[in-house]
Amino acid sequence: MKILLVEDDPSIAVSLVDGLDAAGHQVVHRATGASALATFSAAADPASGEQRIELVLLDLGLPDMDGRDVCRTLRASSDVPIIMLTARGDEIDRVLGLELGADDYVTKPFSFRELVARIRAVGRRLGADVSLADAGRLAVDPRTRRVHLDGAELQLTAKEFDLLAYLASDPGAVRTRTDILEHVWDANWFGPTKTVDAHVAALRKKLGDARWIEAVRGVGFRLEPPR
């Protein structure tokens, strides 16, 4: 997922960029509201050739403008998921932020694990976890929850769709069984990891070619178009 981090504290920004990068996200950092808005607009322009911003982590205490104004401006032209990061913990601030269009609100100090969980939750809720719209012959649409292969729509169960969408969010990347369970099932899932294998088998059958989903021995699975 491509994330725009708007944070003026260098120590917090470096820590978040490093952590999110290690978690598999692409992070663009900006320290002011004006530069963040310019970066978002540039990425949203199809002519730029850049990947669009898929989620915004927005600090409210910026040096040039209030983060709430940044949120208001973004929301006026985009439905991009926005998670506010702030030291303002009062209820009125949280309510105002959400009323302005933020999707979630995290109060500083926060744990990195909590932030990642919030990002995943917002992504699952809004379909933002899937950045891939089309993988050649296979098209996955998270907003309509529809999948087409060579133009024909596939009939998938809810979990089959979630699994395929997660694998399709980064074609070629290996997803461990633990990662799959946390993203597709639940972070607190205590069932057997073999449930992943069962759903993979069902997906392979519906895709018509087992080579779509490759098993990486001892690790997990990845999605790649058959050659």
Q: pLDDT by residue (tens digit) across 136-157? A: 578 887 767 788 888 889 999 9
CATH class name, domain 2-126? alpha beta
- Residue ranges of the chain assigned to CATH 1.10.10.10: 134-223
DSSP helix, strand, coil percent of the chain (3-state; round to 5): 45, 20, 35
Mean pLDDT of 34-62: 90
Confidence (pTM): 0.58
Q: Provide the pLDDT confidence category of residue 125 given band limits of 50, 70 and 90.
A: low
Asked whether the CA dihedral 182, 26, 225, 127 is positive or negative, the reply is positive
- Residue ranges of the chain assigned to CATH 3.40.50.2300: 2-126
Architecture of domain 134-223: Orthogonal Bundle (1.10)
Residues of the chain above pLDDT 70, percent: 85
Q: Are 23 and 76 in contact (CB under 8 A)?
A: no
Q: Provide the pLDDT confidence category of residue 103 given band limits of 50, 70 and 90.
A: confident
Give the whole-angstrom CA distance, residue 191 versus residue 197.
13
Per-residue model confidence (pLDDT) at position 127: 54
E-only strand ranges, the chain: 2-6, 26-30, 55-59, 82-86, 104-107, 134-135, 138-141, 146-149, 152-154, 175-176, 213-216, 220-223
